[in-house]
Amino acid sequence: MADKKLVEAITSMEEDFARWYTDVVMKAELIDYTTVKGCMVIRPAGYAIWELIQKDLDRRFKETGVQNVYLPMFIPESLLNKEKDHVEGFAPEVAWVTHGGLEPLQERLCVRPTSETLFCDYYKNVVQSYRDLPQVCNQWCSVVRWEKETRPFLRSREFLWQEGHTAHATAEEAEERTLQMLDVYSDFLEETLAIPAIKGRKTDKEKFAGAVATYTVEALMHDGKALQSGTSHNFGDGFARAFGVQYTDRDNTLKYVHQTSWGMTTRLIGAVIMVHGDDSGLKLPPAVAPVQVMIIPVQQKKEGVLDKAYEMRDRIVRASEGSVRVKVDDTDKSPGWKFSEQEMRGIPVRIEIGPKDMEAGKCVIVRRDTGEKIEIPDSELESRVPEVLKSIQKDMLEAARAHRDAHTYSAADMDEFRKVFLEKAGFVKAMWCGDQACEDKIKEELSVTSRCMPFEQEQISDKCVCCGRPAKHMVYWGRAY
Amino acid sequence: MADKKLVEAITSMEEDFARWYTDVVMKAELIDYTTVKGCMVIRPAGYAIWELIQKDLDRRFKETGVQNVYLPMFIPESLLNKEKDHVEGFAPEVAWVTHGGLEPLQERLCVRPTSETLFCDYYKNVVQSYRDLPQVCNQWCSVVRWEKETRPFLRSREFLWQEGHTAHATAEEAEERTLQMLDVYSDFLEETLAIPAIKGRKTDKEKFAGAVATYTVEALMHDGKALQSGTSHNFGDGFARAFGVQYTDRDNTLKYVHQTSWGMTTRLIGAVIMVHGDDSGLKLPPAVAPVQVMIIPVQQKKEGVLDKAYEMRDRIVRASEGSVRVKVDDTDKSPGWKFSEQEMRGIPVRIEIGPKDMEAGKCVIVRRDTGEKIEIPDSELESRVPEVLKSIQKDMLEAARAHRDAHTYSAADMDEFRKVFLEKAGFVKAMWCGDQACEDKIKEELSVTSRCMPFEQEQISDKCVCCGRPAKHMVYWGRAY
């Protein structure tokens, strides 16, 4: 049995989802608050998840030809001001550096909220001819947006992310790259984070400042709210024209490049918590669990128990060639306390081993996702552990998909639409005329936004859910983080 | 023969070392200048070196129990001000954020120049009892120091680094960790960057602002100037007292923790360039070469040549299980141009393959470090390439050690001392009385600083080289970057 003390310390999801979330990030030791308002410390248990996310995403990027770079964290005000829509979108929420050392700066610098302007400035220098294209770069860095209300991982004044920025010879190639990266994001969410995603296009109201088109992967959290989990933007040649990024084509004429950008952030850790977690704490998909298996000795002071635990660890490491991340909890806490901690931290598998198990030549595997206990012969340890991890990864995706499908509704008119958002929570599929006035009206009345126009369109009705005029798109609507 | 055009574009080392350096970083496409004064773009070829450095160092850190974290990039002015020596050392060179969005901030924030103050603030929260110790954390991030004169990699207003910060129960444990990390740095420099390092302690004049003791690894560049390549600081309990970082010990009394910090930066890339490079460009040690082997087809339009090149690449990848990083240069440039580019970029090995080689069942391996050409039978390709890479790694360290030893002098009095720095360039071993006045005098006259008091002390004479009073330490002196 898991220890009650640790468990009672967290609020239940039903009672107060927001408090449950905060309790989990604190009790699982993912973050700590700081005296720097709106910023957080990402603690070892949290950062190790980010490292696994980075490693996996970075591999996927590089398989598509992405190269990593690093650009300055500062943007001179005059550079930020070059693209009109972009500066309007970001200027209200940037932090400004006005002094360097003891001297006031001649021109103030903002701390990057995103780096389109810097990448344009860079590509302008290094792109001369069609031979220099495409440029397919990415950087892992932190960015700053001066948010008024902040929440760990979901919204903070500084966060970590990757931002990909590409430049292409043609509009077609840019659109292709934009969609390719959206697929990378969607595959990553499903295969690695066990989060099913809706792929689609943002409405003009919701698109990125300066983009021609923004595509998104939207996920549904356990409380029925939506989380934008990654976006991919096609800029056309708008930035290129504003910054003068041109190349000499094969026909010896000067042309503007076509650009894209795409990003995922540490808010993905928030998504993992809110999609998979439960009242015992975090539940990590094995692919991003820094510790996948915790071996917990029972009656560890009895002779041979600890040694047996270490032996089991070593066998798992050896047989998996180090690919299974396994530890022994040999602290002097009680087994019940250790079970609670392992559950709170979301470690996918625990193995219980005590004198009785040893006598019987067996051990007990407990799945964090389902709570299922599996008694296995000691001799099958090496083969069963990777199998169980694989099942957990697969089953967590299925469970998340089932939850999402159960909380996805259709609405043909405003009555149905309202009913869902007043009584339930989830995605609502409903038709839209394409007019921003309807989006504004829906947002004002219900605090609901258009999440995306999904690639997989359905015909819920032939009229806009809001104004009744002929419908142009099916839209996923939701309350969003 | 390498193509002349590319080679002639760089200044020779003898003529002007500083220009040679700048030419190499630009021609090898490691960096680009930006409109952000004093900051640089680290381009794909440069960043890929940094990624290999990170991966290797990070593995070494984790083997000693280090955990990665991420702390905010901003430090409130009041927090920076808490430790007197520290703020005096850093305040003149920090960048200040004074506005968030459209509002002035109530308290200005500096962009971290280093994070001791933030780690103290964090440890103060999470350390309660001896059970919470040691804390052994590290972060990979960028920092900002408002330098007046900047040079790519060596000194820039923003640079990338890792900063380790630890907290311990006892002074002994802190000192042990400080020295352990210095050993990690020294091993890394020798084994990975092929750079021999002098390990020692900084004088009080040269130590870190707020440290009790600073240890350093000092390397000698090709021009005879010294480069501080990594430092490890023991803070004693000074920061803990200033920030109130206390724990309850086993005996139930409150005690201050003892802290350390240690860092290495992107200036290591500058070290690699200046230790190993030559008039043909960069020379990368195989361990940090993003591409280790470039296969260059000769007469690639002749039937079968390109296919042969790809086949060779695939065989090397397969036999090394992907551990050898190999590419084919199949662009439409001339072979001579490709040779020049491979040399400029410092790729350790090139393989030349053409119709005649194919007929004879052989290929030619050319070592970037020595220029040696090795003709090998095609059948030995898989076994010889890794061998050659291993030899290059080893021989580059030996060559750098030989250069350093040949440029390390001893001086018993000021005449000898002056003579070296007026006529030659290198490290000078000389005795010192321990009085800062002598350091100041030497610096003023010759622009030479004490690099370190090496762990391996020798008795050059029994008098201080400067004042003639009894000597306390042998010191390595040098002109430094």
Taking CA atoms, what residue in A is nearest to B91?
A101
Does residue A249 surpass a pLDDT of 70?
Answer: yes
- Residues 6 or more apart whose CB falls under 8 angstroms from that of A169 comprise A130, A133, A134, A247, A249, A255, A257, A258
> Could you give the 3-state DSSP secondary structure of residue B21?
helix
For residue A435, the number of C-alpha atoms closer than 13 Å in the C-beta half-sphere is 14
Beta strands in A23-125 (DSSP E): 31-33, 40-42, 67-68, 74-76, 95-100, 103-111
Say whether A100 and B99 touch across the interface (CB within 8 A). Answer: no
* pLDDT given for residue B83 in this prediction: 86
Q: Which of A31, A33, A37, A140 should we substitute to test contact with B (largest number of B Cβ atoms within 10 Å)?
A: A37
Closest to B95 (Cβ–Cβ): which among A33, A68, A100? A100
Chain B residues touching residue A63 (CB < 8 angstroms): none
B87–chain A Cβ distance below 8 A for any pair = no
Indicate the pLDDT class of residue A6, thresholds 50, 70 and 90: low
Cβ atoms of A106 and A78 closer than 8 Å: no
User: How much of chain B exceeds pLDDT 90, in percent?
Assistant: 95
Cα separation of A170 and B248, whole Å? 65
Closest to A70 (Cβ–Cβ): which among B42, B68, B126? B42
- Tens digit of pLDDT for each residue in B177-222? 999 999 999 999 999 999 999 999 999 999 998 899 999 999 999 9
- Tens digit of pLDDT for each residue in B45-75? 999 999 999 999 999 999 999 999 999 999 9
Chain A residues touching residue B40 (CB < 8 angstroms): 72
Taking CA atoms, what residue in B is nearest to A78?
B35
B47–chain A Cβ distance below 8 A for any pair = yes
* pLDDT given for residue A4 in this prediction: 58
**Locate tokens 């499908």: which residue?**
A405
Angstroms from B413 CA to nearest CA on chain A: 40
Closest to A125 (Cβ–Cβ): which among B32, B44, B70? B32
This prediction's pTM? 0.97
Say whether A74 and B109 touch across the interface (CB within 8 A). Answer: no
- Tens digit of pLDDT for each residue in A99-158? 998 899 999 999 999 999 999 999 999 999 999 999 999 999 999 999 999 999 999 999
> Could you give the 3-state DSSP secondary structure of residue B219?
strand
> Could you give the 3-state DSSP secondary structure of residue A177?
helix
Taking CA atoms, what residue in B is nearest to A141?
B141
Does residue B1 surpass a pLDDT of 60?
Answer: no
Cα separation of A245 and A255, whole Å? 8
Cα separation of A334 and A319, whole Å? 29
Closest to B72 (Cβ–Cβ): which among A71, A118, A158? A158
**Count of CB pairs separated by less than 8 Å, A with B:** 153
Cα separation of A368 and B432, whole Å? 64
Mean residue pLDDT of chain A comes to 96
Short-list A355, A422, A383, A340, CA closest to A27: A340
- For A279, the token pair is 């009242």
Q: Looking at residues B403-418, what average pLDDT do you find?
A: 97
A88–chain B Cβ distance below 8 A for any pair = no
* pLDDT given for residue A86 in this prediction: 83
Cβ atoms of A271 and A277 closer than 8 Å: no
B344–chain A Cβ distance below 8 A for any pair = no
Strand partners, B148: none
- Tens digit of pLDDT for each residue in B152-179? 999 999 999 999 999 999 999 999 999 9
Q: Looking at residues B271-300, what average pLDDT do you find?
A: 97
- Tens digit of pLDDT for each residue in B103-140? 999 999 999 999 999 999 999 999 999 999 999 999 99
Does residue A14 surpass a pLDDT of 60?
Answer: yes
Cβ atoms of A397 and A219 closer than 8 Å: no
Say whether B98 and A98 touch across the interface (CB within 8 A). Answer: yes
Cα separation of B246 and B235, whole Å? 15
Chain B residues touching residue A118 (CB < 8 angstroms): 34, 36, 41
* pLDDT given for residue B391 in this prediction: 98
Q: Looking at residues B300-312, what average pLDDT do you find?
A: 97
